[in-house]
Amino acid sequence: MPELPEVETVRRDLEPFLRGRVVRSVAITRDRAVRRQPHADFIAALRGRRLTDVRRHGKFLIVDLDGEDALVVHLRMSGQLRVARPADELAKHTHVVVDFDNKTQLRFVDPRTFGEMFVDPLDEHRRPNALRFLGPDAVNDKLSAVAFHALLLGGRTTATVKAALLDQNSLAGVGNLYADEALFAARVHPKRLAASITSAEAAAIRKELRRILAAAIKARGSSFNDGGYVDAYGNPGAFAQRHKVYGRNGQACPRCGSAIEKIVVAQRGTHFCPSCQSLPTVRESRRVAR
DNA sequence: CGATCTACCTGATGGC
DNA sequence: TGCCATCAGGTAGATC
């Protein structure tokens, strides 16, 4: 499932490929792939436009058009953006094909159809209107430790720290996998109340999160056998083998040897080490018991 | 208001 | 072997 490192890898693949290209035609073969606007509007907004840049905010890709709007893409669970030539075999679940002026194509492939594309106006900060709700990007250098702590607290009362990390309105880009890995590295229990996180703990979570995201980008993301995430050329990333807890329930904790457990937190499968991630206080345990 | 629940999907997996 | 039930997961929108 693409999260920040995977989307960033795709962005880096696509930038040299898309920059300067002019859209010749657009074909939508699955209605749901473009659902925020009429298909005709989407196609008309793209045809004849030149692509000037490829950016990312959280898990959203933003492809700038020459003007005041952008093509926005979210891969959700199973979406892929693939570069291709017109003669290349069409993969199953290909829902959108964009043809360019140099006989190349960008293809949107998405088995679970949760992903989507849309064209959206940019505001004065060149942010798409629909992405105004997003918090700062998780790898934004300007996000200080103090600001990060404030984001985690965020007026929350009963929400867990894991829920806070997953909240894209607070912090953009962290999904289930990297939330688990960061909390393990920072030795913070996923069920801890966000409101109880100290500044020292927040600093540790921020530091580990940034370290892990950077390492995952360097490894070109996390891929699984389910064929979910691959880069723009169809190649898997190499970071999954370095996961410490995600998908490793029952295995030995690499730090203390205890068995990794899988529980449900914030309605998500959550992996953690019960002995070396600080336990919630008794009072917190009672609050988040259900 | 914050927090939680549900819908949206399909491929993979497990049980019988 | 085949069939069915279950699960996974990000976000929007509804509900608590």
Q: Does pTM top 0.85 for this prediction?
A: yes
CB proximity A255–strand C (7 Å threshold): no
C-alpha span between A181 and A214 (Å, rounded)? 13
Ranges of chain A whose pLDDT falls below 70? 225-227, 279-290
Distance A288 CA to C15 C1' (A): 20
Q: What is the pLDDT of residue A226?
A: 67
Percentage of the residues of chain A whose pLDDT score is greater than 70: 95
Q: pLDDT for A210-235, tens place per residue? A: 999 999 999 999 998 665 799 999 99
Q: Is A2 a catalytic residue?
A: yes
* Residue A280, pLDDT score: 61
∠A102-A104-A109 over CA atoms, to 5°?
A: 155
Residue A179's Cβ-count burial label (10 Å; 0-12, 13-18, 19+) is buried
Query: Is the shortest CB-to-strand distance from A241 to strand B under 7 Å?
Result: no
- Alpha-carbon gap, residue A17 to A220, rounded angstroms: 17
Q: Which nucleotides of B are covered by protein (CB under 7 A)?
A: 1-6, 8-13
Task: Check residue A290 and give its pLDDT.
Answer: 38
> What are the two backbone dihedrals, phi and then psi, of residue A152, each rounded to the nearest 5 degrees?
-65, -40
> In the structure, how far is the CA atom of residue A267 from the C1' atom of nucleotide B5, in angstroms?
9
pLDDT at A177: 93
Catalytic residue among A24, A268, A274, A287: A268
Q: Give chain A as a 3 state SS string.
A: CCCHHHHHHHHHHHHHHHCCCEEEEEEECCHHHCCCCCHHHHHHHHCCCEEEEEEEECCEEEEEECCCEEEEEECCCCCEEEEECCCCCCCCCEEEEEEECCCCEEEEECCCCCCEEEEEEECCCCCEHHHCCCCCECCCCCCCHHHHHHHHHCCCCCCEHHHHHHCCCCCECCCHHHHHHHHHHCCECCCCEHHHCCHHHHHHHHHHHHHHHHHHHHCCCCCCCCCCCCCCCCCCCCCHHHCCCCCCCCCECCCCCCECEEEEECCEEEEECCCCCECCCHHHHHHCCC
Residue nearest to nucleotide C9 (CA to C1'): A77
- Which of A2, A5, A190, A280 is the catalytic position? A2
CA of A176 to C1' of B8 (A): 19
- Whole-number pLDDT of residue A228: 78
Distance A284 CA to C6 C1' (A): 31
Q: Is A191 a catalytic residue?
A: no
Which backbone phi and psi does A81 adopt, to 5 degrees?
-110, 125
Query: Is A207 known to be catalytic?
Result: no
Catalytic residue among A11, A49, A59, A244: A59
Instruction: Please answer whether residues A48 and A22 qualify as being in contact, where contact means their C-beta atoms are separated by less than 8 angstroms.
Output: yes
Which residue, counting CA atoms, is nearest to the C1' of nucleotide B10?
A: A112
pLDDT at res. A224:
82
Pairing of strands A51-57, A60-65: antiparallel
Q: Is the CB of A111 under 7 A from strand B?
A: yes
Place of tokens 């083998």: A241
Nearest-nucleotide field for A77 (CA, C1') = C9
pLDDT for residue A288 = 47
A268 is known as an active-site residue: yes
Give A94's strand partners.
A109
Q: Identify the CA nearest to A244 among candidates A223, A271, A270.
A: A271
Strand C proximal to A58 Cβ, under 7 A: yes
